[in-house]
Structure 1
Amino acid sequence: MNYTYRIYPAANQQAQMLAWLESCRRLYNYALRELKDWMNSRKCMVDRCSLEKEYIISADVPFPGYMEQKRQLPVLKETWTGLKDVHSQVLQDVIKRLHNTWENFRKRNFGFPRFKKYGQFKSFLFPQFKESPIVGHQIKLPKIGLVPITLHRPIPDGFAVKQVRVSSRCRGTQWYIVATIQSDVSVPDVPVHGRAIGIDLGLERFITSSDGSYVERPKFFKTVQSRLKVLQRRAARKQRRSKNWEKAQIKVAKLHHHIAIRRKDFHLKNAHKLCDQAQTIFAEDLNTVGLNRGMLRKECVDASFGAFLSLLEWVCWKRGVYFEKVNPNGTSQTCPNCQAAVSKTLEDRVHNCPECQYSTHRDHAAAQMVLIRGLDNVVPVDDGERKLPGLAVLSGAFCLDKWLSRKAQERS
């Protein structure tokens, strides 16, 4: 698990960490340049390569892999000013970070590593610790020293700090650490149990549950958009790279950070609220990338459905609640009462079934369909109970759902 804490380094420590970030950025770009040069020199046959546009590398030079580039670090430290000041394992992690991106590109066939511009490299990692670096209300970072930390929640008993990532936000004015903690405990998969609900995510109502409850969508970005527009206009009028320009950019970054933490706080509170309501949650497996590119992309990005689903899945795992995503196709075009197809446009906000006369809010009907599709994975048995592949018996709280009552009548 990862725990995030705010730290408050001194002025000299901030300058040192900013210098580390710049050295890591330059090393990342240097290693990526080696990788791209090696690839460009082997794009075509030797007798057909352009001697003017491509750097020709000998055929016996191996591919600059992770181990090969990591072995070059001691040599680079002798000629590269600034690398000696950075912790050796931090530099090794920079090379590892590049090759992780390269391997992901090879698997997905998209997302080729890019060069990092000034200010784009915002974190570095200490990959291992012999002892816990957190001592009281301070954290001891190698070569940096003791840094005050806001320990708003203690490290749980039985957990050890394995890694610490130092991250800068708001253009280097705010600093955080992400502590990776580990315990030698085997956590079993959460079985389906207790009361089940289905949820539907939307722009009118952020969350609509199958039991009829819903949560309105707060407009995090639009509420402060006018203020952001003023700050961006002031920043644009400043001379680029001047001190006043940097101050104006920091104000813009802090407002964006304020929007992000408000959104995350809203997501986290509602995730815990859903876990309080039920022990089994079904949600739509939305194509969030496609939604963020559609005609309502501004509202979808502001709502951040993908971040909420990821956070909800983590909260469910942490609290022992079963979570599963279902196919979202046609959930709003199907009647949850009789399974008839009821076509609706985006303007139709009420579900009226012409077959069974069932009427409810559009999002409520979609949430009920999500619950039905989720419960289709339940395997009925002959003893009158409903079991799942994990051999977990579902409790009688499912009888609160009309669909299960109807299914029980059909089986009888």
Structure 2
Amino acid sequence: MLNFTYEYKLIPTKSQIAEIERTLGICKSVWNYALAERKDWVNFRKCLVNACSLEKEYIIPADTKFPNYHVQAKALTKARANNSELKSVNAQLLQQVLRTLDRAWEDIRKRNFGFPRFKNAVRMRSFIFPQFKSNPVKGNKIKLPQLGWVKFRKSREIPEGFQVKQARVVRRATGYYLMLSIQLDVNVVNPIPHGHALGIDIGLDKYLATSDGELINRPKFFNSLHRKLKLLQRRLRNKQKRSNNRFRLNRRIAKIHEKIAATRKDFHFKLAHKLCEQAGMIFVEDIDFKSWAKGMLRKHTLDASFGQFFQILQYVAWKTDTYFLEVDKNYTSQICPNCETKGGKKLLSERTHNCPACGYTTNRDVAAAQVIRNKGLVAVGQPVNQNACGDVSSGG
């Protein structure tokens, strides 16, 4: 099964905007009520059996089941029968809010996340229509429950044969967006190792270095607008909460953050396509970026967003039939790519690799990228050919 998500800019009317905002408000209420119900159940279980709290006690029957998705969905159905506001919103849309909360609750245990947050008017940003009876798209319009026919900027056509399975409406600082999930019933084979091999080493001095000797400079996405953000956030500190001035200033700040994120993502996609055009196999390091984000250079690491880049690179590699593999990151900066001799640990100020055993000299990051490529070739079972100049290439 082949699945894609296409993003479009919505062009709703004033009445449709009002309906979107009303729907988001009801979704926020459902989320907060369901989350409060789960938290109350947990707090009731924390009560001591031989003592009472000096502040308050949660009085819930001992045989009350945990309010999971199925329990809360059943309660929502009963509530919709007596509540006209809930009844005015698509039932499946509200059920998806409960499903999202259920996943967030499971992530506490599975992914070691914190408790889900209560939503205010700003934090609830999207809702989803999980299914359609027929194709809802005609030209540059889409028919959504409650909203009717909504125009959108059709920046690219939906491929022939794909069916629209879901639609998500997202509110951002720059307007409203439509996320269309499309599906085609076809089996796609994963890429196999073939062609030219390319190793990639990432860093903060240069954004990345390839085993072919190419160095990519690091664009500083956040630093370019940091001064303006700092000024606006300083003004925000003096604005009265819930005032219109604070709301407008918050929106200006959100637009700048959105511009930074969009610029960074555009760079990542263009760079990923450029790399995949050069090779049939791409090898990178299996780095834990969470630990990188806690170091002295955490601000620059988060600005570079290497984790997002690797995700995009893996997706583009799959789409362009390029084999992608993560290899062991250990000792990539200490091993010589020409003779595989392990040297000592290099200082950050040492930007050149000089092998005392074979005399091979090259840029430090390029040498690490070549070691990554060699590890990748060994992992896929292909031979590593070496020549007198120290250049390494795959036998394929």
User: TM-score by structure 1 length?
Assistant: 0.89
Unaligned runs of 5+ in 1: 381-385, 387-393
Tell me if structure 1 keeps the 8 A contact 2:47–2:57: no
AA paired with 1:159? F
Are 2:140 and 1:140 aligned? no
Are 2:13 and 1:10 aligned? yes
Are 2:152 and 1:149 aligned? yes
- Equivalent residues in 2 for 1:96-245 (5 A)? 96-170=99-173, 173-245=174-246
- Give me the whole-angstrom Cα distance separating, in 2, the residues matched to 1:85 and 1:198: 55
- Give me the whole-angstrom Cα distance separating, in 2, the residues matched to 1:45 and 1:102: 24
Shift of 1:107: 2.2
- Give me the whole-angstrom Cα distance separating, in 1, the residues matched to 2:244 and 2:48: 51
SS of equivalent to 2:85: coil
Are 2:252 and 1:266 aligned? no
SS of equivalent to 2:127: strand
SS of equivalent to 1:293: coil
SS of equivalent to 1:42: helix
AA paired with 1:264? K
- Give me the whole-angstrom Cα distance separating, in 2, the residues matched to 1:179 and 1:260: 21
C-alpha distance 80-300 of structure 1, shift in aligned 2 (>3 A): farther
Task: String of CA shifts for 1:319-370, please: whole Å, max 9, x gaps.
Answer: 1111011111221122212222232111211112222222111110111111
Other-structure match for 1:280:
281
AA paired with 2:367? A
Other-structure match for 1:294:
295
- Give me the whole-angstrom Cα distance separating, in 2, the residues matched to 1:267 and 1:35: 40
Other-structure match for 1:23:
26
Shift of 1:127: 0.4
Shift of 1:52: 4.5
- Give me the whole-angstrom Cα distance separating, in 1, the residues matched to 2:40 and 2:233: 39
Tell me if structure 2 keeps the 8 A contact 1:335–1:342: no
Q: 2:368 aligns with which of 346, 366, 369?
A: 366
Shift of 1:401: 8.6
Tell me if structure 1 keeps the 8 A contact 2:338–2:390: no
SS of equivalent to 2:257: helix
C-alpha distance 144-113 of structure 1, shift in aligned 2 (>3 A): same
- Equivalent residues in 2 for 1:79-90 (5 A)? 80=83, 82-90=85-93
Q: Tell me which moved more, 67-76 or 260-269.
A: 67-76
SS of equivalent to 1:83: helix
SS of equivalent to 1:175: strand
- Give me the whole-angstrom Cα distance separating, in 2, the residues matched to 1:268 and 1:182: 22
Unaligned runs of 5+ in 2: none
Q: 1:94 aligns with which of 91, 94, 97?
A: 97
- Give me the whole-angstrom Cα distance separating, in 2, the residues matched to 1:402 and 1:230: 50
C-alpha distance 110-177 of structure 1, shift in aligned 2 (>3 A): same
C-alpha distance 81-246 of structure 1, shift in aligned 2 (>3 A): farther
Shift of 1:47: 4.3
Shift of 1:269: 0.3
C-alpha distance 303-144 of structure 1, shift in aligned 2 (>3 A): same
Q: Tell me which moved more, 115-124 or 191-200.
A: 115-124
Shift of 1:294: 1.1
Shift of 1:11: 1.9
Shift of 1:112: 3.0
- Give me the whole-angstrom Cα distance separating, in 1, the residues matched to 2:194 and 2:322: 8
Q: 1:353 aligns with which of 338, 352, 355?
A: 355
AA paired with 1:359? T
Task: String of CA shifts for 1:215-247, please: whole Å, max 9, x gaps.
Answer: 111111111112222333344444333223222
Other-structure match for 1:389:
none
AA paired with 1:361? N
Shift of 1:79: 5.4
Shift of 1:106: 2.5
Other-structure match for 1:54:
57
- Give me the whole-angstrom Cα distance separating, in 1, the residues matched to 2:234 and 2:58: 44
Q: Tell me which moved more, 153-162 or 106-115.
A: 106-115
- Give me the whole-angstrom Cα distance separating, in 2, the residues matched to 1:121 and 1:379: 49
Task: String of CA shifts for 1:65-123, please: whole Å, max 9, x gaps.
Answer: 11110011133235556322321111000111111122222223443323223311111
User: TM-score by structure 2 length?
Assistant: 0.92
AA paired with 1:213? E
AA paired with 2:169? V
- Give me the whole-angstrom Cα distance separating, in 1, the residues matched to 2:159 and 2:253: 36
SS of equivalent to 1:273: helix
SS of equivalent to 1:256: helix
- Give me the whole-angstrom Cα distance separating, in 1, the residues matched to 2:334 and 2:168: 46
Tell me if structure 2 keeps the 8 A contact 1:200–1:370: yes
- Give me the whole-angstrom Cα distance separating, in 1, the residues matched to 2:36 and 2:359: 66
- Give me the whole-angstrom Cα distance separating, in 2, the residues matched to 1:11 and 1:288: 43
Shift of 1:154: 0.8
- Give me the whole-angstrom Cα distance separating, in 1, the residues matched to 2:300 and 2:83: 47
SS of equivalent to 1:162: strand
AA paired with 1:345? L
C-alpha distance 81-368 of structure 1, shift in aligned 2 (>3 A): same
Tell me if structure 1 keeps the 8 A contact 2:164–2:181: yes
Shift of 1:46: 4.0
Q: Tell me which moved more, 98-107 or 202-211.
A: 98-107
Other-structure match for 2:310:
309
Q: How many residues align?
A: 390
AA paired with 1:123? S
SS of equivalent to 1:282: strand
Other-structure match for 1:35:
38
C-alpha distance 30-51 of structure 1, shift in aligned 2 (>3 A): farther
AA paired with 1:364? V
